[in-house]
């Protein structure tokens, strides 16, 4: 199947996608800050550079987009053009995510993953659950 936009337009669209300060990440940051949590952003000293790091709670939060992290939900769809490239790229992303979580856990950090779909479908419930889990001692992963 041919792409519906020119390669120049596709390149422009893809260059606009950022890895920091995304809408889902900003939602999580605003909510947690309003709840009194204080955190560092994108700590380069930790594996995977977690989006938010809460040293007081020894918690690392990763906010994942469903496409880029191959989340098997209704918002993920493998592109129909250049499929093999995307399959390999997204699988590598997923492997890197898993390795980062394992390394963070080995360093004593509790890892919380918030997927974009959880914020789209019921942000308030997901964010309340995240905040409760941070202060508790359980590990969570949103759907």
What are the φ/ψ torsions at residue 127 (nearest 5 degrees)? -70, -35
In tens, the pLDDT along 70-129 reads 999 998 998 888 899 999 999 999 999 999 999 999 999 999 999 999 999 999 999 999
Does the predicted model carry a pTM greater than 0.75? yes
**Considering Cα of 61, then 65, then 70, then 73, what sign does the dihedral take?**
positive
Q: What domains lie within the chain, and their CATH numbers?
A: 23-135 (3.40.960.10)
């Amino acid at each position: 199947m041919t792409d519906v936009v020119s390669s120049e337009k596709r390149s422009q669209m893809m260059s606009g996608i950022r890895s920091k300060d995304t809408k889902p990440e900003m939602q999580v940051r605003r909510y947690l800050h309003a709840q009194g949590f204080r955190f560092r952003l994108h700590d380069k000293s930790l594996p995977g550079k977690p989006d938010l790091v809460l040293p007081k709670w020894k918690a690392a939060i990763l906010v994942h987009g469903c496409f880029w992290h191959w989340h098997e939900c209704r918002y993920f769809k493998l592109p129909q053009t250049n499929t093999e490239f995307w399959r390999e790229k997204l699988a590598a992303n997923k492997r890197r995510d898993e390795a980062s979580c394992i390394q963070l856990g080995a360093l004593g950090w509790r890892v919380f993953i918030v997927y974009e779909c959880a914020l789209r479908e019921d942000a308030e419930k997901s964010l309340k659950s995240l905040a409760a889990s941070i202060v508790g001692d359980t590990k969570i992963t949103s759907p």
